Structure 1
Amino acid sequence: MTGIDRRSLATFLGTLAVLSGTIVAVSRLAGVSMLALAPAYMFTPMLAGIATCIVGPPSFEAAGLRLPRGRFRWLAVAVAVPIVLVLLGTAISLGLPGVEFVPDANPLTGEGTQFAQPQDGEATPAGPSLPGWPWNLLISIVAAVVFGVTINGVFAFGEEFGWRGVFLTELAPLGFWGASAVIGLCWGLWHAPVILEGYNYPNYPVVGVGMMTAACLAMSPVYTYVTIEAKSVLAPTALHGTFNAFAATMLVFAQGGSELVVNPVGAVGIAVFGLAAVGIALTGTPALEGDWALPVEGEAGGDGRDGGTLEGSPLEE
């Protein structure tokens, strides 16, 4: 196994620091909230990744910018994983003291919850009305899938090509768990400027930075897993986009309790993603090589083995 390319790693992290720092500086100097600038902020990992690929190595394809030919089922898995885990987290939350099940809430607008934000002069928040339980949940699942791989997917790609594309490739010498841990730590801390302004944990912004970092550490192995299995950065993009689209379901149906606990990026979310990571460890951790995304020689579109081994190394998986 070759060592880490320090020049490429420095290019990625340096570019990311400059771009992220520039947006934070604009926020401070112009008096604009980081919450308003968050959509632009989400593209800084992608831009850092592009800069790294231009300087080279890796190539764009080696960093996972390719269709998961022969492995398209992993895109479906990537979409299903956050839905299953958020629902599991919701079920766990409902078993906690002080948490109430609100079956007729509207996950799309927050109607019927403390998260509802009616427009001026309106009695209810803007957005589509939904029928009662369980149709509101089913519609929310469909909406999460649609928006998760489309609109949300665009912004998720802004992060994922950087984190699970270029950064993962550069950290491949650390192996699956080592790379996942480093990415999770950086990913979590990168959220700090937004978290400190009240995102996700409005009542605990400082503690929230630590909580978000812990959540990213817990989520990172799951994201790494689907990335390697799909051999494409489109898989974590689909996972990330769907998670962002569906995460509010826990907050809407399971009301009450601390936001540090009953939260998809709180203690409950950390627990369910942690369980998924344990499942990965028990069922077999895939090997991570620098050429994890590249097809084997003579391969036409996929590995032809239904994803049994990672392409590019006979020792992988």
Structure 2
Amino acid sequence: MVPSNVVDRHPVAAYFVLTLALSWSVWIPVLSSVDGPMARIAAIPGAFGPLAAAAVVTHLRGESVRAWLASTLDWRRPARWYVAALAIPIGVGLALAVVSVVMVGFEDGTLVPALLTFAINVVFATLLGGGQEEFGWRGFALPHLQTRYSALTASVVVGAVWALWHAPLFAFGVYQMAPAGYAAFVVVASVVFTWLYNGSRGCVPAAILLHGTVNASVSVPVQVVGGPSALPVPFTVLLVGAFGLLALGLTVRYGPGTLSAAAAQTPSWTGDGPERRSTVGAPGVSES
């Protein structure tokens, strides 16, 4: 028997609440006492909230955490999906760098530092600065939501909570961009992540690589022009525009149902067949 009927019937809601609780309970007291450059380092433990919450909810539903983890770590997919995970954010970053330079000009002496920072950040962001979140967002929430909703709707829901999850980082000044612009960027980027996840038939490692590369690449355009203050418009406007066009193109090309040429991916680790995932109730609903 599943120990909690509420968690069993509403795994995604339980997951979202627990993710916010775990991360915020770390971030709020820590960021209240740490500021400056150390704040980003001090925030790292809280960034594992999505992963921890997914494991806890899986366990509370009476399912195998080992099977869920094996599913999320299954990297055996065609190489093109890993290439896409690198090429999309790098391509967007280069395009935005060109747009930024056209608008305000190139800042001398910034290109090499920007590229070095990008190379370092790809490794850091993939392992500790964003990539680890994908065990939860795409590795748990998205497949559960897709048992009941279209891929587009599931993407927007995940994106909205994903954006909200960052709220303490804005409240304590760790992130310096406009919260509304950042939230819009995360929501449209979530559509691109769903395309990669569904198209690769649930490859979380590719999503991890995409997340890390996105986080690393978005700093390059503003670095080569001397910082975000040099731009005549907020950089988040450019980000939302670029990823929004990409998300729109994917939606038109593949349709909102799956956002990819493959089927919408649903939980593969439950071990009790599609019947349980399609019964009445919230995604991945109850055992009786």
TM range (shorter): 0.7 to 0.9
Distance 1:281 1:235 in 2: 20
Offset at 1:194? 0.6
Residues 74, 205 of structure 2: 8 Å contact kept: yes
Instruction: Kindly indicate which of the two structures has a greater share of residues assigned to helix.
Output: 2
Offset at 1:54? 1.8
Residues 83, 242 of structure 1: 8 Å contact kept: yes
Task: Return the letter of the residue paired with 2:210.
Answer: L
1:253 to 213, 218, 224: 224
Distance 1:15 1:180 in 2: 19
- Cα 1:226–1:261, aligned 2, differ >3 Å: closer, same or farther? farther
Distance 1:157 1:6 in 2: 28
The answer for the alignment partner of 1:47 in structure 2 is: 52
Residues 93, 262 of structure 1: 8 Å contact kept: no
Residues 222, 228 of structure 2: 8 Å contact kept: no
Q: Say whether residues 1:13 and 2:8 are aligned partners.
A: no
Distance 1:277 1:183 in 2: 15
Task: Return the letter of the residue paired with 2:253.
Answer: T
Distance 2:269 2:238 in 1: 32
Task: Return the letter of the residue paired with 1:13.
Answer: F
Distance 1:175 1:57 in 2: 26
Residues 251, 262 of structure 1: 8 Å contact kept: no
- Cα 1:216–1:260, aligned 2, differ >3 Å: closer, same or farther? farther
1:267 partner SS: helix
Mapping for residues 110-189 of structure 1, pairs under 5 Å: 137=115, 143=119, 148=122, 150-155=123-128, 156-172=130-146, 173-189=148-164
- 1:232-290: CA deviation from partner (whole Å, max 9, x where unpaired): 11111101111222222111113366579453xx1101111011112212321224242
The answer for the alignment partner of 2:274 in structure 1 is: none
Mapping for residues 90-105 of structure 1, pairs under 5 Å: 90-96=97-103, 99-105=104-110
The answer for the alignment partner of 1:290 in structure 2 is: 266
Residues 100, 255 of structure 1: 8 Å contact kept: no
Offset at 1:210? 1.4
Task: Return the letter of the residue paired with 2:22.
Answer: L
Flag structure 2 segments of 5+ consecutive residues without an equivalent.
1-6, 271-288
2:34 to 32, 35, 43: 32
The answer for the alignment partner of 1:233 in structure 2 is: 204
Q: Say whether residues 1:279 and 2:249 are aligned partners.
A: yes
- Cα 1:62–1:72, aligned 2, differ >3 Å: closer, same or farther? farther
- 1:192-249: CA deviation from partner (whole Å, max 9, x where unpaired): 11122333426xxxxx221211110121111111112222111111011112222221
Task: Return the letter of the residue paired with 2:188.
Answer: A
Offset at 1:107? 5.4
1:54 partner SS: helix
1:73 to 61, 66, 80: 80
The answer for the alignment partner of 1:270 in structure 2 is: 240
2:168 to 173, 176, 193: 193
Distance 2:112 2:152 in 1: 34
TM-score (norm 1): 0.69
Task: Return the letter of the residue paired with 1:78.
Answer: A
Task: Return the letter of the residue paired with 2:49.
Answer: T
Distance 1:225 1:59 in 2: 27
Distance 1:17 1:260 in 2: 35
Residues 75, 238 of structure 1: 8 Å contact kept: yes
1:94 partner SS: helix
- 1:169-188: CA deviation from partner (whole Å, max 9, x where unpaired): 22112111001101111111
Give the number of equivalent residue pairs: 250
Flag structure 1 segments of 5+ consecutive residues without an equivalent.
111-136, 203-207, 295-317
- Cα 1:257–1:243, aligned 2, differ >3 Å: closer, same or farther? closer
Distance 1:293 1:233 in 2: 13
